[in-house]
Amino acid sequence: MNKQFEKKELKKKSENLSDWYTDVVLKAAIADYAPVKGCMVIRPYGYALWEAVQDALNRMMRSAGIENAYFPLFIPHSLLEKEKQHVAGFSPELAIVTIGGGEKLKDPLVVRPTSETIMYDMYSKWVHSWRDLPVLINQWNNVVRWEKRTYLFLRTTEFLWQEGHTAHETEEEAMEMVMKALNWYRQIYEDYFAVPVVMGKKSESEKFAGAKTTFTVEALMPDGKALQGGTSHNLGQNFSKSFDISFQTRDGKSEFVWQTSFGFSTRSLGGLFLTHGDDSGLVLPPKIASIQVVIIPIFRGDDGQEALLEYCGEVRDALVGQGIRARLDNRDSQSVGRKFNEWEVKGVPVRLEVGRKEMEDRAVTMARRDTGEKVLVERKEMLPKIEKLLEDIQTSLYETALKHMNDNTRDVSTFAEFEDIMKTTRGFIRAFWCEEASCEARIKEATKAATRCLPLGAAEENGVCVHCGKPATHRWLFGQSY
RNA sequence: CGGGGUAUGGCACAGUUGGUAGUGCGCUUCGUUCGGGACGAAGAGGUCGUGAGUUCGAGUCUCACUACCCCGACCA
């Protein structure tokens, strides 16, 4: 049974993850290389996934009173320079427009790498009183960061994201926002993508340029490397002081606002593709898949084709009526085998095979993408069974990924052990660390692994740093970054 | 930005001592098919990365340039 059919033209995930990844993203028509280095075209089948993310995050943000807006692509270089750490962090990867309309610009324009500066310049105009707070604005846009080495979705020169930027009366209120956003990101990964994550705080050297504290969701990829999945920053008053966003408090004093920013990008889709999927192609979790069920008619001569298509159409309408995203593949130019393979590469969670046999028995054959298992289901039981199957696939994908993460998260007490793990399986390593940047840098140089985060809720303990032996109070999560 | 490699049809590649470009897949049309990438017939598609040079003649030899890929450094 459950035979895995070999894909003739697809590289194997089991042999080389990164070759497989590129191959499958291109062949599943998720994305394609654009003529500009490091840039890609997100094709309709891939963009539909991004739209699903947008829908989910927009719902979550709306529930917290956040509204969408749009700010310009270009940022005057003079504005970017206002927050020192911010400009220092981003300078090496900026694209800068120096000529406009054939004339050299007096103040070059930066193509936004993120929008803090241009948004906060506006916020300073808009905020004067405690009554103007909180400011709760999000924007969906594209940003550009000139990376030296790029990779489809995971690190592209231009990428799409949402960036939320809020301003509050108190730091407590800002922190609530920071954690709320972080939890949304966790939900997108875990509930929609079926990708487990660890939530935590970034170290000083890994935090956002200009932030007081950065929080992150970190996922573990199949090759044991870690992916920073989304970040939420407590900006404190760093930017409000640089951009003069001040307000009169309820008791008449002047104070700077407390700010947050948080972002979730198309990189996340790369994590989704890497995590699931197998030698036959992508495996999309039902909750995010744009097509959850594909119906494939199996013809027998010209006889009865019309009746078969009619039966398939009826099956599709029943599914769609139930809110299931179903597609009938009625192309007669492709053979059945080819269709099976195409939809497998594209990772559609459930395939219904419908031939004369099923039509006569008033049934469908239901095949699940993740295990390959096929069962014959009576037509009248189809709807509840498919709903159940979609849930089962979602759960099973999450559990498999969670097991992988747990199996590859190791407590380590000696540096030799640390080095050994990084040389072999990689994965997450939990170890005491003295919290000194120079020590972290030496660990990274020796093993390629740096701190991913201090997991939320990590207990305070008495320990010694895994590398330098100095006193340490917490076990940090280490890993090699994607 | 350092080290290595590659560049020939949409994709993957072959092309011998220099003689004017080929194979497989894909694509188009027609027909027969369809329970795991169908078959037959007939077609379309290439300034051989760019620019110079050597030569009667360059995909092939020489030089320069450019782009891309892999490894490393970098990557809130």
Q: What is the pLDDT of residue A149?
A: 82
Q: What is the pLDDT of residue A5?
A: 66
DSSP-assigned states of every residue in A58-89? HHHHHHTT-EE----SEEEHHHHTTSHHHHHH
pTM of this structure: 0.95
Q: What is the pLDDT of residue A4?
A: 53
Q: Which nucleotide is nearest to A342 (CA to C1')?
A: B37
Q: Which nucleotide is nearest to A337 (CA to C1')?
A: B36
Pick A9 or A77 by higher pLDDT.
Answer: A77
As a rounded value in angstroms, the CA-to-C1' distance for A446 and B5 is 28
As a rounded value in angstroms, the CA-to-C1' distance for A9 and B36 is 15
pLDDT for residue A393 is more than 70: yes
As a rounded value in angstroms, the CA-to-C1' distance for A333 and B45 is 22
Which bases along strand B come within 7 Å of a protein CB atom?
1, 25, 33-38, 67-76
As a rounded value in angstroms, the CA-to-C1' distance for A216 and B24 is 49
Q: Which residue is nearest to nucleotide B73 (CA to C1')?
A: A148
CA A145 from centre of chain: 17
Percent with pLDDT over 70 in chain A: 98
Mean pLDDT value of segment A55-83? 96
Note the pLDDT tens digit of each residue in A112-165. 999 999 999 999 999 999 999 999 999 999 999 988 888 889 988 899 999 999
C-alpha pair distances (Å), A387 with each of A325, A361, A381:
11, 21, 11
Q: What is the pLDDT of residue A3?
A: 46
Domain architecture of chain A: domains with CATH? 17-275 (3.30.930.10), 293-389 (3.40.50.800), 409-481 (3.30.110.30)
Q: Which nucleotide is nearest to A357 (CA to C1')?
A: B35
Task: Map residue A123 onto helix, strand or coil.
Answer: helix
pLDDT for residue A235 is more than 90: yes
As a rounded value in angstroms, the CA-to-C1' distance for A121 and B3 is 45
CA distance A174 to A257: 9
Least confident range from A16-25, A352-361, A371-380, A467-476: namely A16-25
Q: Which residue is nearest to nucleotide B72 (CA to C1')?
A: A149
Least confident range from A10-24, A314-328, A341-355, A363-377: namely A10-24
Q: Which nucleotide is nearest to A369 (CA to C1')?
A: B36
As a rounded value in angstroms, the CA-to-C1' distance for A227 and B14 is 41
In the structure, what pLDDT confidence band is assigned to residue A428 with cuts at 50, 70 and 90? very high
As a rounded value in angstroms, the CA-to-C1' distance for A294 and B44 is 33
Q: What is the pLDDT of residue A102?
A: 82
Note the pLDDT tens digit of each residue in A340-368. 999 999 999 999 999 999 999 999 999 99
In the structure, what pLDDT confidence band is assigned to residue A49 with cuts at 50, 70 and 90? very high
Token pair 């996934």 in the structure block, residue: A49
Q: Which nucleotide is nearest to A338 (CA to C1')?
A: B37
